[in-house]
Structures are given as C-alpha cells and as structure tokens.
Structure 1
Amino acid sequence: MQALTILRPGTAALTDKPVPVPGPGEVAIDLAFVGYCGSDLTSYRGLNPLVSYPRVPGHEISGTIAELGSGVENLAPGTAVTVLPYFNCGTCRACRSGRPNACPNNQTMGVQREGAMTGRVVVPAAKVIPVTGISKRDLALVEPCAVGFHAVRRAELKSGETVVVLGCGMIGLGVILGALRQGAKVIAVDLSDAKLDVAKKLGATEIINASTDVKARVAELTGEGPDVVVEAVGAEATFLQAIDLVATAGRVVYIGYAKAPIAYETKFFITKELDIRGSRNALRSDFDDVIDELRNRPEAGDLIVTRTATLDEAAEALADWHARPGDFTKILVKF
C-alpha cells in the first residue's frame, strides 16, 4: 500500500509500505479520512523536536474496522471508528493518576511513531472508538476537537463565565465548541477574518481581529476581564497577551507550544493570583464529549473543513499549507 511520508524537512512523497496484519488484541482499520494536524505541519517544516525522519504523519482518524486480531471482543468488521492515537506507558505518575494524556513517555501516531496517512493501520483494540451518527468525514474532526475540549476541561469553565480564545485554527475552534457546550460566553480572537467568521458561525459571542486593540475591546466587553483565557496559537505574543487579558483571580490555559523561551513579567502571576495551566492531548472522555457534540452539530464540519485532498494530492496539500497557513483551517485526505 502507499503512504504519504515526510522524507525530510520540506519534502513529502508517496512511499510503499507493507499492508499491516493485526496480531492478538489488535484491530486493522481501513482509513476513510485522515486530517493534517499542526504537528504534521511542524514536522514538515523541520521544527518538531519529537520527530525523526522519514515519518508517516496523521493521527486524526476516520475509518472502518477491516479485520480483528485474536482475542478481540465487542468490535466487529464494518464498524465506523475513530482512534485514540496516544500511546502511554501505563506506569508513570501521570498514568497512575488518571492523566495518561500527560504521560512523559507518550508516543503519538504520526509524531513519535508511524501515523495513519495510508490505506490501513493496525492499533490495539483499546484505542478503537466505535461511532454512530457522524459522517465518515467528520469522524476525522473528533481528535483535534477533543484537544480543544480538554483545554476547556483544564480551565474548569462554568456556565455563564467568559472565555477569550486566542487563535481560531482547528484547536481553537475545538475550544470554542467545548466552551459553548459548557454554557460559557466566548470571545474569539484571530488575525484572519475568514477564521473569525467560522468562529462566529459556530456560536462565538464576540469576535475580535487581533490586528486591532484587543485589550481595549476585551475590557469593553467584559469590564474586569475574562474569567479564562485559552491560548491556542503557540506564539510569544499570545502567551504574554493571555496573562495581560485575564481577570484577577482568573485562569489561563496554554495549548500551543511557543517556539522559543518567553520572558514573563512574573509579578502578574502573584498580583492577579492566577491559575496557569497546561493542556496536552485529550482523554477518552473528551473524545466522547466531542462525538456527542458533533452528532448535535452536523453543520460544524462544513464550516471547519477547508480542503479535501486525495492521497495523490496529499503532498501538494501539505506544501500549500506550509506556503499559505492562513488559508486553511482543516485539510483532510480522503482514502
């Protein structure tokens, strides 16, 4: 079978791979759609320190069970599924405390291990999530939305609170959907008017173009500041902006990775008595919440998906995203 492979930074091409066969406790999945993640773009750019080359990217998965290995029960061929693509060790402090998403030994498909940008993958049965009531295309949106939902969980966002979401890419849109599900008021911030339009159509209460005076507008809308700020960009400016915008005694959640060390005015951590939290990957419960939400929001996928490519077009689509990142929210590869 063929797979889209990042051979080295800046170069992706189709390569031949053997068709995998499930062993005991494993499941073979024929792929329907796989989404490109921001980590795939970072790998393509040579900026992902967790990746070695060559690497098959892809961990946003939609597919159908093709074959079961011995000992697998409660799953059946032909079932539509998505996949929990994180492989934790099961023994570290994070795993023992019920937070396997934060496992320091984690291996994510398409990052530390081979991904799903190919015709078939084999994964442990415990990673397979059967899903009904969602289109095959939208199944590939579950994982990135779940990352946003997990950030909302980390924020402990409550109904009636106000959250500022910095960045309306795929993960930021997941935050918006998760925050709305909690009954929060959402202020979405981005440089792209097109992405802000999507955020507004998904239900954001207010939108702000980041090229304007964001602090003044947020103050106008909130008075004392938002209860929560979620940073979903991964830039020095927005890391600092989150601390500046949030209300006293508020919470800040970081999802994005800044590419360089950041110098903070740390007095604001103390004088505002802030809760500052990181958010990594997602839990199975976040996946379940997203699945429920997407069942009730079938229009969301039409708003989020920017481009659908074939496997033959996958390398070109990745190069286009690299060249014009602001033009795309979500690129899916259809198999």
Structure 2
Amino acid sequence: MKAIQLEKPFEFRTIEIPEPGKPAAGEALVQVHRIGICGTDYSGYQGKMPFYSYPRIPGHELGVEVLDVGSEVKNVMVGDRCSIEPYINDPNSYASRNGHPNCCENLQVLGVHTDGGMRPRFIVPARKLHVAKSLSWEQLALVETLAIGCHAAYRGDCKPGLNVLIIGAGPIGLATLEFVKLAGSRPIMLDMNEKRLEFCKSTMGVKDTILSKGTEEDVKALQSLTNGHLAEVVIDATGNNKSMSNALNYVAFAGKLVFVGITTQEISFLHPLMHRREMTLLASRNALPQDFGNIIRLIEEGKINTKPWITHHAGLSEMIGVFPSWLKPETGVIKAIVAVEG
C-alpha cells in the first residue's frame, strides 16, 4: 500500500509499504480516514521541530475506524469510529506512573518520533483509541488539536474573570481559545496577521484583539484593555523564540506564562522582570488521555463548534503538491484535512 514519507526537510515522497499484520494482544488495526495537518507537520517539513526524526511517515491528528483487535482489548470493537491519542508512552515510566503520560521520558509521538497516519492502515495500542458515537471523520481528526489547547488552558489554570492573553491565532491558539472561553475567562488575542484576528472576532466571538506591531505599543494596548494590570494568564502559541522571549512583558503581577508553542532557538529574558512580578513560567506538552474523551463529549453536545475550523481539503495522493501552499499566510489556512483513499 502507498504511504507519504517526509524523507528530509522540504522533501516528501510516495513510498510502498507492506500491509500491517494481525494486531497482537492490546493492539488494534485501524483504517485511516482523515488526517489533520498542524503546526508540528509544518515545522517538521521546514526542519524546525526539535523532536522530529527523518525519514518519517507524518500524521498524528487522525480520524480512524477499527478493523481488527487483538486479545485483551476491551475498550474498542470492530467498526468503532475513533480519535487517536498519538502519544505512545511507556505506562511503567516515572512520568506515566505519576499521571503525566503526555511527557513520558520514553514518549514516541506518532508522526514525529515514530511513523504516523499518512498511510491507509496501521496498528496502534488500543488504549490510545477514543470512541465517538456521532462525530464525522473530520471532527475526529480535530480532537487532537483541540486537546493541545485544552491542556494549555489547564496548565494556565484559567478561571472565570481572568484576563487570558493568547499570543498567536493559528490552530493551537484557536484551540486554546475554545477552552479559555469554556473556563469562563476573558480571552484577548494577539497576532501580527490582521485576517486571523478578524476571524477571531467574526467567527470565534472574541471581543478583544491586538494587532501586534512588535513594539511597546502592544503592551500599552493590553494595559488599556485590563485597567493597566496586564493579563493574569499569558499563553504563547507561536513557537517563535522572539515572541516567547517577549511574552513576559504581558504578564500581570503574580501571573502565569504558559509556553505551548515550541522552538529550537534560545529563549531569553531579564530575570528581574520575572522576579519582581513573581511570575510562574509553565510548559504545556501534548495532552492528557482524559482530554480526548472530554472533547469528544463537548463536540457531541454542541459546546464546541468545529464547522469554522476546516478551511482546506486534499486527498492523500495530491497532498505533496499542495502542502507547500498551506505554509503561505495568504492561503488563509486554519486547518487542512487530508482524506485517505484506499
């Protein structure tokens, strides 16, 4: 069967791979129907993702169907429609045993450390499958992106009444926005792209946005929205080291800064600023297993509207040709979805 492999940065190719065998105990064979393209895929393509290894079959935002299960599998059955939690952890690791499988020291993320879903069928640990009763394949492929935002909002401890500044209105920033709103916090979006901010206003219902000029004016704009106090929680979803280094300037006294974006470059800031305001600096990596079930439920209950998210489509056979265009801001991509044929 055919698969898409990222051989090295900027170089996709179509390869032939064998059909998967019979799933072993605790495993499931799945058919891939839809793949979401995210910032990790773009960063891997550009050679900017620090955890990425080449050559690699990408794809970790997946809507799949269970074709077969091995012995001892009780959480899914043949025919189930599922989202995959792509963080393959070691259950016996220190982090996993302490409730943090998302940052297990032996973590293997599908499509990053190990081959992912840009192929028709593959075998996955059944414990990583999350069943949905009524979601479409495309909605299932969105669950992982939403889970990243869910975990970022959780790390920031977003609560009713807090001012939460989200830096970066790309897919991860928008996913974070969903859960900041659900937490009852007041979201403020900051981005350099006027079209993205207009999307936040017109489609995502965000009242307050800041068009970044990259100067002190950005801080003043936030002060004007917060009675001079800045934001109790700042979540940087850019993955840009300059933005991340500058993000402390937006944090209120005793506030929190969450880095959900990731960069290979050095982040630097003057410590007195952080110390004087007694800030808390947090990283947010991946998501937790329970996030997937909660998100599926929220979509099924209509509390998360996925319709605005998906802006671009392609089949697996045409993805290589169109992928570079999705990197261009003028293309207007929020979320591209790839359909798998065969």
Confirm or deny: 8 A CA contact 2:49 2:264 kept in the other structure.
no
What are structure 2's unaligned runs of at least 5 residues?
A: none
Q: In structure 1, what residue type is equivalent to 2:153?
A: V
Shift of 1:181: 0.8
SS at match of 1:248: strand
Q: Deviations over 1:65-105 (max 9, x none)?
A: 11112332242211110111101122333222101111122
In 1, Cα distance between the equivalents of 2:99 and 2:178? 24
Between the aligned residues of both structures, percent identity stands at 31
Query: 1:275 aligned to 274, 280, 288, which one?
Result: 280
Q: What residue in structure 2 maps to residue 13 of structure 1?
A: 13
* Secondary structure of 1:43 counterpart: helix
Aligned pairs (5 A) from 1:1-335 = 1-21=1-21, 22-200=23-201, 201-211=203-213, 213-223=217-227, 224-297=229-302, 300-324=305-329, 327-335=332-340
Give the deviation of 1:157 after TM superposition: 1.0
Letter in 1 for 2:2: Q
Shift of 1:322: 3.6
Shift of 1:107: 0.7
Report the CA distance between 1:326 and its aligned residue.
Answer: 6.5
Cα distance change on mapping 1:80 and 1:276 into 2, 3 Å:
same
For residue 283 of structure 2, what is the amino acid of its counterpart? G
- Does the 8 Å CA contact 1:180/1:203 hold for their aligned counterparts? no
* 8 Å contact kept, 1:192–1:326: no
SS at match of 1:268: helix
CA distances 1:215-250 after superposition (whole Å, capped 9, x unpaired): 121111112111100000011232133210111011
Question: Which region of structure 1 is more displaced relative to structure 2, 67-76 or 112-121?
Answer: 67-76
Instruction: For residue 132 of structure 1, report the CA deviation from its aligned partner.
Output: 1.9
Structure 2 residue identity aligned to 1:221: L
Q: CA deviation at 1:138?
A: 1.1
Question: Aligned to 2:306, what secondary structure does the other structure show?
Answer: helix
Q: Deviations over 1:29-54 (max 9, x none)?
A: 11111111212112211233433322
> How far apart, CA to CA, are the structure 2 residues paired with 1:308 and 1:261?
35
Q: Supply the distance in 1 between the matched residues of 2:182 and 2:142 (Cα, whole angstroms).
A: 17
Question: Structure 1 residues 192, 156: CA separation in 2 closer, same or farther (over 3 Å shift)?
Answer: same
Distance 1:296 1:209 in 2: 33
Give the TM-score, by structure 1 length: 0.95
Between stretches 198-207 and 274-283, larger displacement belongs to: 198-207
Distance 1:214-1:132 versus aligned 2 partners, 3 A rule: farther
Match of 2:135, SS state, is coil
Secondary structure of residue in 1 paired with 2:158? coil
Between the aligned partners of 2:219 and 2:68, the Cα distance in structure 1 is 54
Q: Distance in 1 between matches of 2:262 and 2:161?
A: 29
For normalisation by structure 2, the TM-score amounts to 0.93
Residue 14 of structure 1 and its aligned partner are, at CA, apart by 1.6
User: Residues 289 and 197 (structure 1 numbering): CA distance in 2 closer, same or farther, change over 3 Å?
Assistant: farther
Q: Distance in 1 between matches of 2:196 and 2:234?
A: 18
Q: Per-residue deviation at 1:297?
A: 4.1
Letter in 2 for 1:145: L
Unaligned runs of 5+ in 1: none
Q: Deviation of residue 325 (structure 1)?
A: 7.8
Are 2:49 and 2:263, in contact at CA under 8 Å, matched by a contact in 1?
no
Q: Which moved more, 1:299-308 or 1:94-103?
A: 299-308
Helix, strand or coil at the partner of 1:249: strand
- Asked if the contact 1:198–1:304 (Cα under 8 Å) also holds between the matched residues in 2, the reply is no
